């Protein structure tokens, strides 16, 4: 039996960082459960391609989040004004 698919919405904001992080972890758990239950899916070219694309998207999103976080914590500049 598979776990329930994580909900898309949460009471309040579905865009909060905590909600997004928790949903991402739960989606990963869901996908791993499905793949463990149906080993033939791991060998399917379409499934493999889909998961590989998702991997690249997640890596890029993490890099952008890291860049935004480091930019917001750096000392603000005066934007070239003297």
Is residue 1 included in any domain, yes or no? no
Residue 30 has phi, psi (to 5 degrees) of: -60, -50
CA torsion sign for 74, 25, 8, 47 is positive
**Domain tally for the chain?**
1
Residue tagged 């889909």 (tokens): 50
**Would the pTM of this model clear 0.85, i.e. be above it?**
no
Q: Alpha-carbon distance 58 to 71, whole Å?
A: 20
Is residue 47 included in any domain, yes or no? yes
pLDDT tens digit sequence for 40-49: 887 888 887 8
pLDDT exceeds cutoff 60 at 61: yes
Is residue 74 included in any domain, yes or no? no
Domain span holding position 46: 39-65
């Amino acid at each position: 039996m598979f776990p329930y698919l994580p909900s898309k919405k949460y009471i309040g904001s579905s865009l909060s960082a905590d909600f997004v992080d928790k949903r991402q972890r739960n989606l990963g758990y869901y996908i791993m459960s499905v793949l463990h239950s149906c080993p033939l899916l791991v060998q399917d070219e379409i499934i493999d391609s889909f998961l590989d694309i998702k991997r690249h998207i997640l890596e890029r999103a993490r890099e952008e989040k890291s860049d935004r976080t480091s930019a917001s914590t750096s000392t603000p500049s005066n934007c070239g004004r003297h």
